[in-house]
Amino acid sequence: MSDIDHAGPDFSGSGPVEYRPDEATPRGQAAQVLAQEEARLLAIPGVVSVGIGFGPPGQQALMVGVVDAGVAARVPRELRGVTVVVTITGPVDALRPR
């Protein structure tokens, strides 16, 4: 099926979108828990990332990336009333600046 048959909405006249990073900063209970628990989560060998995302419908959750299922089993599923969503990402290697 072609996009021409079902073109969808036309955003050609929508113009630029303002970027307001202060409004994009995560707030609320998940952000507080992340601030308090980030170092503890990253201290678990094999945890490669932590952040805030969405878990149960409509609720923020802590997102934790791990290298394998063995590490995933050692990560708590809830911290201070906030759901923890664990994703097996494999190893993450940051690129060095040139």
Instruction: Determine the pLDDT at residue 65.
Output: 96
User: Residue ranges per domain, the chain?
Assistant: 45-92
Q: What is the pLDDT of residue 42?
A: 96
- Nearest-10 Cα torsion for 82, 69, 88, 95: 120
Beta strands in 1-98 (DSSP E): 47-54, 60-66, 78-79, 82-88
Residue 92 has pLDDT above 70, yes or no: yes
pLDDT score, position 96 = 77
Q: Give the Cα separation of 4 and 1 in Å (integer).
A: 8
With 60 as the cut, is the pLDDT of residue 84 above it? yes
Average pLDDT of the residues in 70-84:
95
Fill in the amino acid letter for 22: D
Cα angle 10, 11, 14 (rounded to 5 degrees) comes to 140
Instruction: Identify the band that residue 72 occupies on the pLDDT scale cut at 50, 70 and 90.
Output: very high
CA–CA separation, 82 and 63 (whole Å): 10
Residue 82: which of 49, 28, 33, 41 has the closest Cα?
33
Q: How confident is the model at residue 57 (pLDDT cuts 50, 70, 90)?
A: confident
